[in-house]
Amino acid sequence: MAALGLPVGVFLLTMLLVIWQPRGLPIGTSALLGASLALLMGLVNLADIWQVTMIVWDATLAFIGIIIIAMVLDELGFFEWAAIKMAHWSQGNGHLMFIYLLLLGALVAAFFANDGAALILTPIILAKMRLLQLNFKALVAFALAAGFISDAASLPFVFSNLTNIVTVNYFDIGFWEYAAVMWLPNLVAVSVSVLLLWALFYRDLPKRLDLVQLKPARTVLKSLTMFRWSLLLLALIFTGMAISDDLQLPISLFALLGAFGFLLLGHYYRIIKVWQTVKIAPWQIVWFSIGLYVVVWSLKNAGLIEFLASIIESFAAWGPSWQIVATGVLAALLSALMNNLPTVMVMDIAIAQTGQTALAYANVIGSNLGPKMTPWGSLATLLWLHVLMQKGVNIGWGQYMWYGFLLTPPVLLASLFALAWWMG
């Protein structure tokens, strides 16, 4: 373990650059600088970089495709339409509106990934809540709830989170095989999250809201015809991803084909400018994923994996169910401390060494929920906090962590116990 000193230093320097972003340094560039430093210092070699690229390429490209789809739908007015629908269904009841918007966030996270829910839906919700003249406390309640549910509800499908895709690919888990295991933990995570968020912000929520300021939902759609075609295309994309195992095709193929289809639709109906949309897509995520995982690989080469594998194996003495829970908690703590993307990889490799593939599901739960305890725990949270600041809602790290430590442990434990029961 003494050999870990240098790789840990490179990792911490890389994460510092990612979080701090000096002079606006892009996150992908920061990760590539860390990877280059690891290579120059001999902590990794070119073969390691190639191996890392082979592990993450499908997950990263699938993520890019899903985000482009969400961006086009956002320009169409799809998510604004959905948010207004939820508001009208509440009939002006502030508490019902809060719960309905949380459920909408859960659906968006499930089908458009956690980043899509946090970065696209949150600004729309804030804009509508301001239109309804909510006070600042209520705005913070809606913003925090939207950010938290985006990760809590990112368990059900392979494409719901980048960490899901990485793990599924690493262990060669099928689309429906994964969904059949994770539907219950996701249901529990969403249910407990909604209950806790409502209980936590109960006093800050308005009892009644005057919805007269909200437009009819249909009027925010820039093209009703494209909206209808979009529903069909979304169904086709989901079907393609669902049968990708049988066809032995990567899930990213269907995400990218879907993105291409939406770009064509958006161009045809004059909703978007294709090149502009492609240009502002989060391509930095590609370099961020590869670069950061290369840095993490240097930790693997220094012996971190063997250390983690020994800890996971020691949990077996407590019995299968407790081993599942303990593994998930370990993944959650590591994610909160060092970000969930490096955590999910090192834990996947360590779990593979133990030969207990079933623990991979606990790793996904821990890596998806654990990051909510710290602002740097996930890339989505860092970007989400930046978006909120741009919208005039400044949530400090201390305030965020207070809510994170209050909400995350009960949701995490409930989800892990549900997984242990389901797999028992």
**Residue 303 pLDDT level (bands cut at 50, 70, 90):** confident
| Cβ-proximal residues to 17 (8 Å cutoff; 6+ apart), any chain | 25, 30, 33, 34
pLDDT tens, position by position, 371-393: 999 988 887 787 788 778 777 77
The residue type at 158: V
Cross-strand partners of 93:
208
Collect all residues with Cβ–Cβ distance below 8 Å to 97 and sequence separation of at least 6. 86, 87, 90, 209
331-343 per-residue burial string, b: 16 or more CB within 10 A, e: under 16: bbebbbebbbbbb
DSSP assignment letter at 367 = H
What's the pLDDT tens digit per position in 346-358? 999 999 999 898 8
Tell which residue, 114, 112, 193, 110, has the closest CA to residue 157. Answer: 110
* Burial bucket for residue 194 (CB in 10 Å: 0-12, 13-18, 19+): buried
Q: For the chain, what is the mean pLDDT?
A: 90
Q: Do 217 and 85 meet the contact criterion of CB atoms below 8 Å apart?
A: yes
What is the pLDDT, as a whole number, of residue 322? 96
More confident residue, 174 or 121: 174
Q: What is the mean pLDDT of residues 99-125?
A: 86
CA distance 140 to 126: 9
Structure confidence at residue 1 (pLDDT) = 52
Residue 411 pLDDT:
97
Report DSSP letters for 212-275, one per residue: GGSPPGGGG-S-HHHHHHHHHHHHHHHHHHHTHHHHT--HHHHHHHHHHHHHHHHHHTTS--HH
Tens-place pLDDT, residues 252-267: 999 999 999 999 999 9
Give the model confidence (pLDDT) of 39-59 as tens digits. Answer: 999 999 999 999 888 888 898
Q: What is the mean pLDDT of residues 132-137?
A: 80
Please identify which residue in the block is written with the tokens 């161009």: 267
CA 227: distance to chain centroid? 25
Looking at residue 312, what is its pLDDT? Answer: 96
CA distances for 178 relative to 247, 316, 329, 367, 419, angstroms:
17, 23, 20, 16, 12
Averaged pLDDT, 80-103: 91
422 band by pLDDT with thresholds 50, 70 and 90: very high
Give mean pLDDT, residues 337-348: 89
Residue 367 has pLDDT above 80, yes or no: yes
At 206, the amino acid letter reads P
pLDDT in tens, 157-173: 999 998 999 999 999 99
pLDDT band, residue 133 (cuts 50/70/90): confident
The tokens describing 82, both together, are 């959905």
129 or 181, greater pLDDT: 181
Distances (CA, A) of 169 to 132, 162, 172, 250, 327: 44, 11, 5, 9, 19
**pLDDT at 146 > cutoff 90:** no
pLDDT band at 187 (very low <50, low <70, confident <90, very high): very high
141 is written with which tokens? 């309640």
Which residue ranges make up each domain of the chain? 9-423
Q: How many CA atoms lie within 13 A of 80 on its CB side?
A: 21
Distance between start and end Cα atoms, the chain: 35
Q: Provide the token pair at 222.
A: 């820039």
Q: Which residue has the higher pLDDT, 272 or 341?
A: 272
Please state at what angle helix 162-171 crosses helix 175-201, rounded to 10 degrees: 150
Confidence of residue 195 (pLDDT cuts 50, 70, 90): very high
Burial of 366 (0-12, 13-18, 19+ CB in 10 A): buried
pLDDT at 410: 97
Q: Tokens 């592990």, residue?
A: 55
Taking only the tens place, the pLDDT of each residue in 200-242 is: 999 988 888 888 878 888 899 999 999 999 999 999 999 999 9
pLDDT of residue 2 exceeding 70: no
